[in-house]
Amino acid sequence: MDDILFTEEFKTNPDKYVLPSIAINNVIFGFDDNKVKVLLLRTVYADKWTLPGGFVLKEDELITAAERLLKLFTGLNSVFLKHFGVFGAVNRAEKERELFLSDQFQGDQLNYNFFLQRFVVLGYLALVQYRQVSPLTDDVRQCEWFDLESVPELTFDHNLIIETAIRELRFQLNYLPIGFNLLPEEFPLKSLQKIYETIRGKKLDRGNFNRKILSYGILEKKEKYFSGAANKAPFMYSFNKEQYFNALENGLGAF
């Protein structure tokens, strides 16, 4: 249904279906194994990785297009999803142009012409719960999670796009209850702390972190426990949705 993009009809007549010269890329962050991850897509035309993305259908709102693509690649509907930047450098397809002209190129001519034109990319940042995601895998496409530290060289200017997204994330962390979109319904505070540490890029003190995060009043303590490890199980927490959405609207009171 969403795969007009991969039909011959679209390839021969793209401007009939989507807004010309505009593309969307989603930077989708998840969290697992105490590490922040980003979802990447293997290209169909070479052994390279790229950001999930697509185009804006004529009848789509911009955010709807971003949601549609998120749904396509992760199966998820409603998450934190936010525009964070535009990327339209004249030479942003230079690397790809060279690749397409080389003998590594495995795609077809129609894609070639379409993808190498100049696009203005709208960057959308998504925070999703890792375990809820079923990364898309079909005949031509394959999604996988990558640790932030081991993102490979990507197509176009996608490395820049990810870096910009992380900067934005680091920044928003200070006034929005960001971490929670990345975690499952219930989680130990340590996981949340790890997210903050990863995005901030430094260690935090447990006591101080807990004191602060609990002071926002958007967390609820649960009485469940982990099991399996040779130690006392950590308490689980979930967030109070009412307080949480209020904080999303009005910030965490930093100002």
Partner DNA sequence: GTTTATTGAGTCATTGCGACTCAATATTAA
Partner DNA sequence: TTAATATTGAGTCGCAATGACTCAATAAAC
Residues lying near DNA in the complex (CB under 7 A): 188-190, 205-208, 211-212, 215, 221, 225, 227-235
By CB under 8 A, residue 62 contacts a copy of itself: yes
Q: What residues have CB less than 8 Å from 74, skipping those under 6 apart?
A: 28, 39, 126, 128, 132, 133, 134, 135, 136, 143
Sole residue written with tokens 């260690």: 203
Q: Give the residue with the Cβ less far from a copy of itself, 129 or 198.
A: 198
Closest distance of CB 38 from a copy of itself, Å: 22
d(CA 67, CA 71): 6
**Binding track over 169-208 against a copy of itself, x by CB under 8 A:** --x--xx---------------------------------
d(CA 215, CA 177): 12
Q: Residue 154: which of DNA, a copy of itself, none does it interact with, CB under 5 to 8 A by kind?
A: none
d(CA 1, CA 232): 49
> Is residue 18 helix, strand or coil?
strand
Identify the residue among 5, 17, 44, 85 touching a copy of itself (CB under 8 A). 85
Identify the residue among 101, 120, 140, 233 touching a copy of itself (CB under 8 A). 120
Question: Where does this chain touch a copy of itself (CB under 8 A) — which range of 16-24, 26-34, 208-216, 225-233?
Answer: 16-24
Q: Give the residue with the Cβ less far from DNA, 91 or 232.
A: 232
Identify the residue among 47, 59, 103, 139 touching a copy of itself (CB under 8 A). 59
d(CA 6, CA 166): 30
> Is residue 96 helix, strand or coil?
helix
Identify the residue among 20, 101, 167, 241 touching a copy of itself (CB under 8 A). 20
Q: Residue 58: which of a copy of itself, DNA, none does it interact with, CB under 5 to 8 A by kind?
A: a copy of itself
d(CA 65, CA 92): 22
Q: Give the residue with the Cβ less far from DNA, 131 or 212.
A: 212
Torsion of CA 228, 234, 238, 240, to 10 degrees: 160
Q: In this structure, are residues 30 and 129 in contact, taking their beta carbons and an 8 Å threshold?
A: yes
Which stretches of the chain bind a copy of itself, using CB under 8 A?
A: 19-22, 56, 58-62, 83, 85-86, 88-90, 118, 120, 122, 171, 174-175, 254-255
